[in-house]
Chain A
């Protein structure tokens, strides 16, 4: 069940020419999630700071 599906690391990256599609999608997914987490975190910090100043 846990056999490495490729003969080498280079082959795993290249994926018989399909690697480019897989890695682009992975980049998009990771970027979207990270951007959303960072944006909301910053927004919360900003509103908390504002509320603290008004207290």
Chain B
């Protein structure tokens, strides 16, 4: 029953038409939310009494950091879906997400390094959080290289999926690194189980920037997956009707 449901709603054709339908709504609403949240965070929140104005990088760093891990989890779910139910769309999504995941991880690393200069007095420290995030970035690049090294798409999809699942062990390590080891990086200010440690004046624009960035990255994933479908299904008759 689950297999039938997934195959019915995850056909590349249905997906492509649904993407075109919802894309403009997601894109424009996310863009507006992101711009408003950034203006709010950068100009209308009070200065932090410890970090001064450098803390405003939080509105750019945290969404990227959150997305870098979330995108990998999405790839892991897609990998399981592909390996268990042989859903083609899941395989397309894995390779559509990987470059965007690499980009968000790159932003998280670079913004963290720049934030580190005025805050910690150093742009790099081999501590658990930063090192595990660097490993995540290398994993994204490795997955893209592995997939591109095969001319046989099916073989590439299968091996990439297994590697994604194996690499998913790094996600809880990144998440828990600040609790398990003594690091320069502060522990999470927002968790699902506890009250946020960040002031509400700073919290609301942060939530807005996370939602806006999530929407924009979702649009990028939708665009990237659209490209993958066009490449991989180009011999199918419905693609000719579509273009």
Contact = CB atoms under 8 A, between A and B. Distances in A.
Interface of A: 1-6, 12, 15-19, 21-22, 24-26, 28-29, 32-33, 36-37, 40-41, 43-44, 47-48, 51-52, 55
A27 B226 CA distance: 27
Contacts of A55: 240, 243
Going nearest first, the 7 A-B pairs with the smallest beta carbon separation are: A15-B53, A18-B54, A18-B53, A40-B223, A25-B111, A51-B243, A47-B230
B93 interface: no
Contact of A47 (B54, B56, B114, B227): B227
A26 B103 contact: no
Given A15-B56, A47-B234, A36 B103 contact: yes
Chain B: interface secondary structure? helix
Given A17-B118, A19-B53, A25-B61, 20 more contacts: A5-B45, A16-B47, A18-B52, A18-B53, A21-B57, A21-B115, A22-B42, A22-B54, A29-B60, A32-B106, A32-B107, A36-B100, A40-B220, A40-B226, A44-B226, A48-B230, A51-B230, A51-B240, A52-B243, A55-B240
Chain A: interface secondary structure? helix
Contacts of A3: 44
B43 interface: yes
B230 A21 contact: no
A25 B114 contact: yes
B205 to A, nearest CB: 10
Interface string B213-238: 00010011001101100110010000
A18 B57 CA distance: 10
Given A5-B47, A25-B115, A48 B53 contact: no
Given A4-B43, A15-B56, A41-B223, A24 B114 contact: yes
A16 B141 CA distance: 38
Contacts of B219: 37
B6 interface: no
Contact of A12 (B43, B46, B115, B230): B43
Interface string B90-103: 00000000011001
Contacts of B64: 29
B239 interface: yes
Contact of A28 (B52, B53, B110, B243): B110
A52 B223 CA distance: 19
